[in-house]
């Protein structure tokens, strides 16, 4: 009793003592971080109040941090006028693997974190191809298999390209701040090996107010460019600045900094860049631009030796040129169109941009260009639209794009099969609350569509036509179709039918700021109002479906794929890739690319254009963007 | 991003109403009707091209039907007009972006907010060319200034 009273008093006292501070204090990298030996990161300590520098002590395995890490951290007495002190040390590299205990104290507050700095052993794989099915849930895979391969009497007639891989793991996707991740945070884990927070790319989220000053961690693209002669490719059917492709190279606390992310892409210079998002490459004077300045980013890439393609045909021509080693392909000012719209319904923006390649075309072109490098390559391919269509509860479109991902993976598997020196990984970055619950049969009696849903033995099998040569059923509008529903939704009208006139828009914001079901679907025959279970008002009010914390299913083939088994944390995907490539072993010769990148003397036009290139990014700091025509 | 991306170029029942359910020429104005799909003559990856009709109407009174996007912020002097209903405020949600063919509207009397699913007609003077809003830094290519708003249902 005495003991519990003491505990209670102590808790109350602590609560009182710390109630004056807005911050709990933090150390970055966070506790239990696993860090690739020789990779760069920014080290930051955030105390919960203004601290006396003479009382501040930070040790690494008992040794003063300045000695242990090679240089002293900068003391920031009153960070961003938040009435709290911080220490920041940029570009830390730990050269020796092992366990590191960091103790930070200001005389009043003491924080301890542990890091595991790991080596990788020798290189096993020449190449790595990482496929991301953005938001790809198990139901996406199952439905894609049903529609693409067919099923009868409980047995499928075939498997998806990523079903048929020897190694599999469940992937946990939660981040530092939340059990629910977004695509920035989750992809960041794959590309840096560190956890972060929602909306963040290449940084831990500290309390700083500037998106670009948070503690950075090195991305796999930067590590490869700094330490090896390997090539890097980034492919997405979303905007190339969107969270998943951006996590390959970007450093910002806010993924919406797309103009800046485009500049960071230019500084990091991946060898192959294919996707949407051209609006952020155009000077503000060009109609269709989303830039606030007049920098012509396409011109800058051209000046640095990139062949530029804006159609599928141009991309193929460039890729076929044996001399082409750098390719920038931009095919849409925003996200590209999905396979259901492109190949069958001709909706979305297909009429305006009829010459877009799909993920298979882009995968083929990227491999063709990248494989010219005898040192090997890392290619990331994102099927970004699986997520873009899961969000507005448009499962048909997301399933067609899951089939497209399978087709793209098959191309990579065929390439890998030639030499067995390529690790191919296919994984979602997070999941959605989607499930297959049965079928919807129009021939069932009644007018209420809900009564046409069949469950258990009443479900039977859908009557989609057999898939065409590309693996897609040529029609999605059939009389007996899958009944698939999302569990986490806003209010919306469930129509039980595919949205043939264009992607679904389930909910809208009314004049009071409330999220309401989109009335455009109210009068669809048989539609019912489904009351949502997500917030309908406030900063995180949901006008669409949201991500879930359910594990993702990863499959892999090739050298190093045996690392994937059981349950893994998403940071271990990075570890498996760098281990396969031997990036911690010192076997990859250090190659300084800075000299070659500085070949063109340039004149600055906009001083702000150097933003976001400091610290853990490896871009030459002296370089500034210049307007070219 | 998602919702707006989905909406761009999509003909929803609501938009059909806006296009078909309203007399094409407002009786109280001499404004020339300009539809969203008449704004640009070419949609290129490396830029859009304004149509000759749009260019010929620069500086003149026009009437456009579309949907009001949720305001950037309550006190903003302008709002964004879109070809189809939008649900996401890009300054509120980091997943959001405007489509590239928006029109920025500076109302004669700011502050009016309407349901984003409500079709509306905007009458005012057409301005073309890149311009940065001083308060928000928002860049626009096509604007309607001194605009009058008319709720269509």
Query: What is the per-residue pLDDT across A23-63, written as a single tens digit (0 to 9) for each?
Result: 789 999 999 999 999 999 999 999 999 999 999 999 999 99
CA distance B112 to chain A (A): 10
Note the maximum CA span of chain B: 42
The angle at the Cα of B131, spanning B126 to B137, to the nearest 5 degrees, equals: 130
Average pLDDT of chain A, as a whole number: 90
| Closest-approach residue (CA) in chain B for A242 | B95
Per cent of chain A over pLDDT 90 is: 85
pLDDT over threshold 60, residue A622? no
Interface touch B43/A539, C-beta < 8 Å? no
For A508, the enclosing helix (H) or strand (E) is strand A507-509
Do the Cβ atoms of A335 and B113 come within 8 Å? no
CA atoms within 13 A on the CB side of B116: 31
Find residue A7's DSSP bridge partners. none
Whether pTM > 0.95 for this model: the answer is no
pLDDT higher than threshold 50 for residue A627: no
Q: How confident is the model at residue B113 (pLDDT cuts 50, 70, 90)?
A: low
- Which chain B residues contact residue A199 at CB under 8 A? 94
Question: Quick check: A137 and A154 in contact, CB under 8 A?
Answer: no
Most A-contacting residue of B87, B130, B153 (CB-CB within 10 A), to test interface: B87
Q: Of A183, A289, A371, A580, which is the active-site residue?
A: A183
Position B5 pLDDT exceeds 60: no
Residue A118 has pLDDT above 70, yes or no: yes
Nearest Cα residue in chain A from B68: A511
Provide the pLDDT confidence category of residue B87 given band limits of 50, 70 and 90: low
The distance from CA A32 to its chain's CA centroid, rounded to whole angstroms, is: 22
Residue from the list A256, A503, A508 with its beta carbon closest to the beta carbon of B10: A503
What pLDDT band is residue B119 in, cutting at 50, 70 and 90? confident
Tokens of A73: 């951290």
Residue partners of A246: CB distance under 8 A and separation at least 6: A184, A201, A240, A255, A261, A264, A265
pLDDT of the residue at A516: 92
Q: Does A609 score more than 50 pLDDT? A: no
Of the candidates A393, A337, A344, A347, the residue with the CA atom closest to the CA atom of residue A505? A393
Q: What is the pLDDT of residue B25?
A: 44
Q: Give yes or no for a contact between A384 and A236, defined as CB atoms under 8 angstroms apart.
A: yes
Question: Please, which residues 73-132 of chain A have a Cβ atom closer than 8 Å to chain B?
Answer: none
Residue A471 has pLDDT above 60, yes or no: yes
- Mean pLDDT score across all residues of chain B: 75
Confidence of residue A551 (pLDDT cuts 50, 70, 90): very high
Q: Is the pLDDT of residue A79 over 70?
A: yes
Tell me, what's the pLDDT at B153? 72
Write out pLDDT tens, residues A223-276. Answer: 999 999 999 999 999 999 999 999 999 999 999 899 999 999 999 999 999 999
Are B44 and B136 within 8 A, CB to CB?
no
Tell me which of A84-98, A358-372, B54-68, B77-91 is least confident.
Answer: B77-91
The whole-number average pLDDT for the span A389-398 is 96
Q: Where are the beta strands (DSSP E) in B4-53?
A: 32-33, 40-44, 47-50
Is residue A183 annotated as part of the catalytic site, yes or no? yes
Residue with tokens 């290519």: B141
Confidence of residue B71 (pLDDT cuts 50, 70, 90): low
Distance CA A46, CA A23 (A): 8
In this complex, do B6 and A394 lie within 8 Å of one another by their Cβ atoms? yes
With pLDDT > 70 as the criterion, what percentage of chain A qualifies? 90
pLDDT value of position A625: 54
Alpha-carbon gap, residue B69 to A475, rounded angstroms: 34
**pLDDT (tens digit per residue) in A416-438:** 999 999 999 999 999 999 999 99
Question: What is the nearest CA distance from B81 to chain A, expressed in angstroms?
Answer: 15
A289 and B CB contact within 8 Å:
yes
Residues 65-124 of B with CB under 8 A from A: 70, 84-90, 92, 94-101, 113-117
- H-assigned helices in A133-252: 138-149, 183-192, 220-227, 243-246
């Amino acid at each position: 009793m005495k003991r519990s009273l003491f505990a209670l008093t102590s808790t109350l006292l602590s609560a009182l003592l710390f109630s004056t501070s807005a911050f709990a204090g933090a150390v970055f990298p966070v506790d239990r971080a696993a860090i690739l030996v020789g990779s760069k990161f920014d080290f930051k300590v955030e105390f919960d109040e203004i601290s006396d520098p003479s009382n501040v002590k930070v040790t690494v395995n008992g040794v003063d941090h300045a000695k242990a890490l090679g240089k002293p951290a900068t003391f920031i007495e009153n960070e961003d006028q938040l009435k709290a002190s911080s220490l920041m040390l940029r570009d830390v590299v730990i050269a020796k693997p092992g366990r590191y205990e960091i103790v930070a104290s200001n005389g009043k507050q003491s924080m301890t974190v542990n890091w595991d700095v790991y080596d990788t052993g020798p290189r096993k794989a020449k190449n790595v191809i990482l496929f991301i099915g953005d938001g790809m849930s198990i139901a996406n895979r199952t439905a894609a298999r049903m529609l693409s391969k067919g099923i009868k009497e409980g047995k499928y007639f075939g498997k998806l390209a990523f079903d048929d891989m020897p190694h599999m793991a469940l992937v946990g996707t939660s981040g530092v701040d939340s059990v629910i991740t977004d695509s920035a945070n989750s992809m960041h884990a794959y590309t840096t090996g560190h956890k972060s927070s929602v909306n963040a790319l290449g940084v831990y989220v500290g309390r700083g107010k500037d998106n670009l000053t948070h503690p950075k961690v090195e991305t796999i693209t930067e590590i490869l460019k700094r330490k090896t002669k390997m090539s890097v490719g980034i492919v997405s059917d979303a905007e190339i600045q969107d969270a998943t492709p951006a996590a390959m190279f970007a450093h910002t606390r806010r993924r919406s900094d797309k103009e800046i992310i485009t500049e960071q892409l230019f500084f990091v210079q991946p060898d192959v860049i294919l996707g949407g998002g051209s609006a952020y490459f155009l000077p503000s004077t060009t109609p269709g631009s989303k830039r606030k300045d007049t920098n012509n980013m396409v011109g800058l890439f051209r000046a640095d030796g990139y062949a530029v393609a804006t159609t599928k045909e141009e991309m193929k021509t460039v890729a076929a040129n044996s001399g082409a080693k750098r390719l920038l392909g931009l095919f849409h000012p925003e996200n590209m169109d999905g396979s259901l719209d492109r190949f069958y319904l001709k909706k979305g923006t297909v009429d305006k941009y009829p010459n877009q390649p799909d993920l298979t075309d882009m995968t083929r072109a990227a491999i063709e260009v990248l494989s010219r490098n005898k040192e090997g390559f890392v290619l990331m391919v994102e099927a970004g639209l699986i997520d873009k269509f899961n969000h507005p509860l448009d499962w048909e479109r997301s399933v067609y794009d899951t089939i497209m991902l399978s087709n793209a993976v098959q191309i990579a598997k065929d390439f890998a099969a030639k030499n067995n020196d390529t690790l191919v990984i296919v994984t979602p970055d997070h999941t959605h609350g989607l499930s297959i619950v049965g079928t919807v049969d129009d021939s069932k009696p009644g007018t209420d569509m809900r009564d046409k849903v069949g469950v258990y033995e009443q479900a039977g099998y859908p009557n989609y036509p057999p898939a065409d040569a590309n693996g897609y059923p040529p029609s999605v509008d059939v009389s007996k179709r899958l009944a698939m529903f999302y569990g986490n939704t806003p209010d919306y009208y469930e129509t039980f039918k595919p949205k043939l006139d264009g992607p679904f828009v389930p909910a809208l914001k009314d004049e009071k700021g409330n999220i309401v079901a989109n009335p455009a679907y109210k009068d669809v025959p048989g539609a019912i109002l489904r009351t949502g279970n997500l917030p309908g008002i406030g900063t995180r009010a949901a006008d669409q479906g949201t991500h879930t914390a359910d594990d993702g299913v990863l499959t892999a083939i090739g050298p190093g794929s045996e690392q994937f088994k059981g349950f893994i944390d998403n940071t271990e995907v990075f570890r498996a890739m760098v281990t396969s490539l031997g990036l911690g072993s010192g076997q990859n010769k250090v190659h300084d690319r800075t000299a070659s990148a500085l070949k063109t003397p340039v004149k600055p036009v906009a001083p702000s254009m150097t933003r976001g290139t400091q610290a853990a990014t490896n871009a030459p700091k002296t370089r500034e963007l210049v307007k070219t025509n | 991003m998602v919702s707006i991306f989905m909406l761009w170029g999509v003909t929803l029942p609501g938009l059909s109403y806006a296009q078909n359910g309203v007399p094409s020429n407002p009786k109280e104005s001499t404004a020339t009707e300009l539809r969203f799909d008449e704004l640009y003559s070419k949609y290129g990856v490396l830029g859009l091209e304004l149509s000759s009709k749009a260019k010929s109407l620069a500086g003149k009174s026009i009437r456009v039907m579309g949907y009001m996007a949720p305001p950037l912020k309550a006190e903003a002097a302008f709002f964004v007009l879109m070809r189809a209903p939008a649900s996401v405020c890009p300054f509120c949600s980091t997943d959001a972006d405007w489509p590239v063919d928006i029109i920025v509207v500076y109302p004669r009397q700011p502050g009016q907010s309407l349901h984003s699913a409500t079709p509306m007609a905007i009458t005012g003077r057409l301005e073309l060319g890149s311009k940065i809003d001083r308060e928000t830094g928002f860049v626009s290519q096509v604007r309607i200034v001194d605009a009058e708003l008319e709720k269509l249902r």
